[in-house]
Chain A
Amino acid sequence: MKKQMAEQSESQSHEDTIAKVSSDDSSASVNAFQDSDSEEEEPDEYAENHDEIAKLKAAQKASRNSGEKSQTLYIPKEHIGELPLLELHDIYKIYKMGSEEVHANDGISINIYTGEFVAIVGKSGSGKSTLMNIIGALDVPTSGKYLIHGQDTSSMSDDELATIRNKKIGFIFQQYNLLPRDNLLDNVCLPLLYAGVPKAEQKERAMRQLERVGLADKWMQKPAQLSGGQQQRVSIARALAGDPELILADEPTGALDSKTSRQVLGFLKDINKDGNTVVMITHDNSIALEAKRIVRISDGKVVYDGTAEDYAKLI
């Protein structure tokens, strides 16, 4: 499969229509994550990144249409005029911890369009996982609106959310989350099973996706018999099986070595090229840069939203 290894060369004009909402500064609300910096276990490149964040904020501010106070969002150039696939309007997710309120998401607004490849990047504790739960319809925001294809999820019941997840979203998890006792085919069939697809069709569609990730000949094996990279490919096949509008990948390379990481990223790029919308959550800038667009989250706020190229220049 040469395709999967193929580097995606994206040449895209850099001067985007940028308009960034950055809510006036964080002093307004208590944000516990500010205090929790010291306990981060990620030994990573973010240790010093207050400077970096300041730089990003400055850059966004500069590129913002300074006269306008109205909240306009970043819209990738080629999607201007389209209806967004995902609309996040001023999302707040507030947890109560004792008497203290923790703002995991502190007024996030993003629009994501069909066919995009977006990386949501942020260190742990930044609120990106909370955001991913909301985007994935696994959770509802405390306030704000989240629309998938124009459907508002914030007031949905558990079962309605389950239907949304089943029909519209394909999940790829860091830990693959395959059912250990089922074989690969049954694992890939799972979303189709819950969608009520007839048995024969389930098998046929699942088999097609397994072929796509190059694991068709192993369909009767159990996940434990595969390597990490192969398991992640199975979970990609599972995410694709239901033909969802959005592929949501949560740290898809978090448990893989760099070689298999590249392979998995290659797959994500390929499926994006085939027209699938991909949203990837990661803490790793170098992984994030593989996407076309990057949303940087810090302390529950969007601090950068723009092209990967511009992001690469800033850091």
Chain B
Amino acid sequence: MLNSFNLALKSIWSNKMRSFLTMLGIIIGVAAVIILVGIVNGEMSYMTSSFASMGTNRITVNVTNLSSRSVSVDQMYDFYSDNEEYFTYLSPTVSVNATVKVGNENSDQTSITGVSEDYLDIMDYDLEKGRFIQYADIAARQKVAVIGLYVAQTYYETAEKAIGQRISVNGTKYQIVGVVERQTSSSDEMSEGGSDDFLYIPYTAAVKLTRNGTINNYTFTLRDSYVEKASTVTSVIEDFLYSIFKNDDLYRVTAMSELLDSMNDMIAQMSLMLGGIAGISLLVAGVGVMNIMLVSVTERTREIGIRKALGAKKSTILMQFVIEAAVTSSMGGVIGIVIGCIGTTMAGKIMNIDAQPSFGWIIASFTISMSIGLIFGYMPARSAATLNPIDALRSD
């Protein structure tokens, strides 16, 4: 056994080119699989996380209030407190189409939204400075505003300087009480109309700025235990709304997690495709290994003949070749893993995603390439080892 091992190592070393070619197939196969999986996994986790930041726990309700049938804020809050087991937060959201004016400067890109005191938690934002809109502001229809960092930096230089300043919305002055921290990812510039160019005011104040004076949009957040069962909750909301509107064309309930479901489907499909590609590259590597093994054993028939004539038993020959195949393919596997890991990290840096080599796939690709090497090393070696030494010696 030890003998065969030494013989195998010696043989690998004394024929570096052939050993390297055998390894090359495995190196490429293993590295390709690891890099491929790393990149796709990185891409997927990037997509999932950016999706999650959009709030998978949110349900948005959109209603069309008619003069005869309508739902009021109070009704909505009653429904919310009746069903507290499902929800964590609720906020009416009122989009206002108005011009923001600071001093003499106009900004029509800034989005203005009327919200409740829960809205900061719904969006999962943090404050840079100051405070958020409070229940008292809403109840008293206070003219206070919370602004995005872009607005603060553009018109007041810093967030600190913005606090206490006045900002005019359609001619009405609002006092700035807080600034939300930066939402634009650190690699991008904050821009006009971007995710930091916004202004929040109490919805009670905002509703006055709209034409029909009704609130049409609400955002709920689900408790964690119901995120997976969002469809149950949406149907509860729909039942409630139907009892008011008696017509399901007048409202729409959308759960973000349902979007997540369809995204998960997409991810599953990508994984399947990935599996196919990885499988093909391993298969190609396997065919390469098989070729080289086959050729190298055939090429060495004479060597086998000499060894057998000098007294090597069938099992000794077989052992030598199998160990050779195993050592070659596992060395190829290890090199492939190293290259794969380095390649994944590099690709991740270049593509600006968090690509990491997956441990499971490392094991899987290593095992597969190793078994390919063993099987395709074993098969020709077995027939060579059974060969009559006379015939083997005669071959050239």
A166 at the interface (CB under 8 A from B): yes
B389: interface (CB < 8 Å): yes
Question: Do B309 and A138 have beta carbons less than 8 Å apart?
Answer: yes
| Cross-chain contact A158 with B314 (CB below 8 angstroms) | yes
Query: Are the CB atoms of A194 and B316 closer together than 8 Å?
Result: yes
CB of B312 within 8 A of CB of A162, answer yes
Interface residues on A, range: 20 to 34
Q: Mark A195-210, 1 if CB is under 8 A from B, else 0.
A: 1100000000000000
> Which residues 1-31 in B have Cβ within 8 Å of A in the complex?
3, 7, 10-11, 14-15
Determine if B306 and A179 form an interchain contact, defined as CB atoms under 8 angstroms apart: yes
A124 to chain B, nearest CB (A): 14
A55 close to chain B: CB less than 8 A: no
Which one of B15, B310, B393 lies within 8 Å of A166 (CB-CB)? B310
Contacts A159-B314, A191-B311 given: A177-B393 contact, CB under 8 Å?
A: yes
Residue count of chain B within 8 Å CB distance of chain A: 24
- A193 and B3 in contact, given A138-B389, A138-B390 (Cβ under 8 angstroms): yes
Report which of A165, A166, A182, A191 forms a contact with B14, defined as CB distance below 8 A.
Answer: A182
Residues of A within 8 A of B14 (CB): 181-182
Convert B295-329 into 0s and 1s, putting 1 for each residue whose CB lies closer than 8 angstroms to a CB of A: 00000001101111111111110000000000000
- CB pair A194–B310 under 8 Å, yes or no, is yes
Interface residues in B259-317 (C-beta closer than 8 Å to A): 302-303, 305-316
User: From DSSP, what is the main secondary structure of chain B's interface residues?
Assistant: helix
A181 to B14, CA, bound (A): 6
- Give the distance in Å from the alpha carbon of A190 to the alpha carbon of B389 in the complex: 16
In the docked arrangement, what's the CA distance between A163 and B314, Å? 11
Contact of B311 among A162, A177, A182, A186 (CB under 8 A): A162
Q: List 26 A-B contacts (CB under 8 A).
A: A133-B390, A138-B388, A138-B389, A158-B313, A159-B315, A162-B312, A162-B313, A165-B309, A165-B310, A166-B312, A167-B311, A171-B310, A173-B393, A177-B302, A177-B393, A179-B303, A181-B14, A181-B15, A182-B14, A190-B307, A191-B311, A194-B310, A194-B311, A194-B316, A195-B311, A238-B310
Seen from chain A, the residues whose Cβ lies within 8 Å of a Cβ on chain B are 133, 136, 138-139, 158-159, 162-163, 165-167, 171, 173, 177-179, 181-182, 186, 190-191, 193-196, 238, 242
